[in-house]
Chain A
Amino acid sequence: MGWCIATYRLAINMTHRSPDPEELLRQVQAGERYEGRGLLKVFLGYASGVGKSARMLDEARRRKERGEDVVVGATQPVLSPEVTNLLLKMEVIPLKTLDEMQVMDVESILRRHPQVCVVDGLAYHNHPRSYHTERWEDVRELLDAGTSILTSVNLQYIDEYKEKVEKITGKHVADVVPLDFLKSAEEIEVVDAPPGMPLYREGGIPEETGVLQQKLAELREMALLLTADIVDHQLEMYMQHHGIEQLWGTQERVLVCIKAGVDARQMIESGRRNADRFRGELYVVNVRQGKRPSKDQSVLEENLQYARTLRARVEVLEKEEWTAAILRFAHEHRITQIFIHHSRNESWPERIFGSGVDRLIKSAEGIDIRVFPQ
């Protein structure tokens, strides 16, 4: 599994889509330098009470049974009976208390130097006088020391998601973990929903009102899609690393092509709606076509501006044969649907050789072309 771990390590710090070869090489080397680093596995949940701790400790138990040297470095302040039960079978390094605040005893764990350490609750804030101010920094140190980590975190504690979640729950949280740290994990596993059927569900969420259910569903969806995005990123890195061109995508990506002088607001809106419904991405492009009347140019500018307000990724492609430019962009960005306008009227050459729309339809292998009324 060495190669695959190295590949996943590559996912760290990757922010843009196509890194240059040197960047890639640098990262491979960085990966190799950390050969002795422990592996990070994160259990991601959308709310507390979904069973992350139990799932994580169950894995710890199984690993221990297979002969791995596993300790528990941190537990939650309140334990469910299931978790208490699982802990009985494990070696636990107790938390230490600083001014009535409980923190993970990193020094003891480092001295004990286990193969695997369970850290329940990645997002805890440490005492100001402790080793690091954040628990995820403790974890990073343990990883560097060669200990593999099993840890858990809830969506609301991920820095980049904090605000979104707060809007839904109305609850403010102080502790956060950066998304990049999460992305640096070799493995991420989503813990999707509490076991049991709502009809028989005991305790937990007593009165699942419509509103509460709605909020929980939004959080669930967010956690699933975050995991999907991280997985997608890992896949892309894998493909790049193995020199495989990835032409298909599991995520819908809509490309709206606009021309100068044509009001494209409706088509852009439709692109946005479609991308949203598919939880996909939206791109809006125009191919530069030399000189054009200033009136057409201003309509184009308005359209592009409108696309930006709808959170589309907007690009103006350099002058090139129209179909080729669109298709090249589409393949580079793994587009699954292209939106274009119908031709308004056909000239004689178009009648004979086909319009740009016709040519695009003929050459768009694997991409749906949706033609819109003007």
Chain B
Amino acid sequence: MPENSRRGHLKLLLGYAAGVGKTYRMLEEAQKLKRQGVDVVIGYFEAHARQDTIDLTECLEMVPRRKLLYRGSEFEEMDTEAILRRRPQVCVVDEFAHTNVPGSKRAKRWEDIRVLLDDGIDVLTNMNVQHLESLNDTVWEFSGVRVQETIPDWVVKEADEVVMVDLPPQALLNRLKRGVVYSPEKAQQALENFFKEPTLVTLRELALRQTAHEVDVRHEPREASGSPRSLLLRNRAGSSTRNGEAAERLLIHITADPSTAALIRRGRRVADFLDAECFAVFVNMVTGLHSLPAPERQTIQKQLNFARNLQIETHVLEGEDVAETLVGFARRQGITQIFLLQTRVRNRPAIFGRNLVQKIVWLARDMQVTIVAEHCRR
């Protein structure tokens, strides 16, 4: 294979909070590579004024950041184009889930990193587990924090290696109190968000289980598998499964309900774990999306886009009877499991007929139907 056609190797260090040592570990690895004679550069790193971390950048070449002006303030972002010109063997980049300042060439840092990989540069990066899209609702549920910077699961799945950076929460809290993680003001703020002991313990458990899963999907022997690399392609082709089980095909029902985003995330996560193909459908009771009232149309467009960004195949169907149209489609497509949202309308007397969920459940008696409960903060 010619040198330039090899895609770069992506190694992802997974943590569960600021201060567990992701950047430190990443730079330690960079130093090690450098000692081995590998051409390694720092593409972007966040010092957070931690001396231990800054010491580790010694002797490492840093590609200068790009300065951008946005609303009168200066921002600095990774200079992807400069790194491409420099062409190192390995580039280390902090914060995989970072959102670039508006006006940047690409919206997300993970998109920049994919450009580097496409050019054959190996990348070492890091993120916290709470930035994973499919865990967004779970994290909100136990922490009360709605994480804004998310990263689609398929992007993480593309990493060749995922390694856990672990630190017991008590040790992390000690660090925070010693002022190692944040400045005093910011530390106080942090204590009010993620930095509560039960929250940290839960996040850590999530990270451990997620890493175990990432290890599993990369190494589990599969029937028609080639290298773990072919995982995504294989899923798209949808032909094979593990251990010869019948392939699952999962269908998510998109509606204008605000909880649909949570339904899509949950469906995507279940599909990933089951090695299933994933589809999403909106059933339009009128002709053409343009006939919908503007707010509803925008909501639906947003949900469809969101699903597509998570690599879910979307369809818009037309039919007066939502349940019949949805189940008919599922049957034609050989769907094995339909994902629905619990109907919000409570206390509606069933005497007036079944509600939508009941109707779909009744019509789809020959397949599995999963009703995803509305998740709420407790």
Contact = CB atoms under 8 A, between A and B. Distances in A.
Contact of A200 (B28, B36, B163, B164): B36
A277 B274 contact: yes
B375 A366 contact: yes
Nearest to B209: A228
A34 interface: no
21 contacts: A1-B174, A4-B170, A5-B170, A192-B165, A192-B211, A195-B29, A198-B161, A200-B33, A221-B212, A228-B208, A228-B212, A250-B206, A279-B212, A342-B361, A342-B365, A352-B351, A361-B371, A367-B373, A370-B369, A371-B371, A373-B366
Interface string B336-362: 010000100010001100000110011
A365 interface: yes
Given A250-B138, A369-B371, A193 B33 contact: no
A247 interface: yes
Nearest to A194: B163
A265 interface: no
A189 B215 contact: no
Given A196-B32, A373-B368, A189 B219 contact: no
Contacts of B9: 197-199
A195 B30 CA distance: 9
Contact of A217 (B29, B38, B218, B273): B218
Contacts of A354: 350, 358
B378 interface: yes
Nearest to A215: B219
A4 B171 CA distance: 12
Interface in A356-374: 357-358, 361-362, 364-374
Interface stretch (B59-67, B108-116, B196-204, B317-325): B196-204
Contacts of B168: 41, 187-189
Contacts of A196: 29, 32-33, 36
Interface residues of A, number: 69
B171 A368 contact: no
A323 interface: no
A232 interface: yes
**Residue of A196, A200, A217, A274 contacting most chain B CB atoms (<10 Å):** A200
A250 B266 contact: no
A235 interface: yes
B369 A371 contact: yes
B46 interface: no
A232 B205 contact: yes
Interface string A10-38: 00000000000000000000000000000
B36 A235 contact: no
Contact of B205 (A235, A270, A351): A235
A115 B16 CA distance: 30
A362 B211 CA distance: 34
B367 A373 contact: yes
B25 A190 contact: no
A367 B219 CA distance: 30
Contact of B370 (A277, A370, A373): A370
Given A217-B215, A368-B373, A371-B369, A228 B205 contact: yes
Nearest to A200: B38
Contacts of A228: 205, 208-209, 212
Contacts of A251: 205, 209
Closest 7 CB pairs of A and B: A217-B219, A228-B208, A187-B168, A224-B212, A192-B164, A370-B370, A193-B163
B374 interface: yes
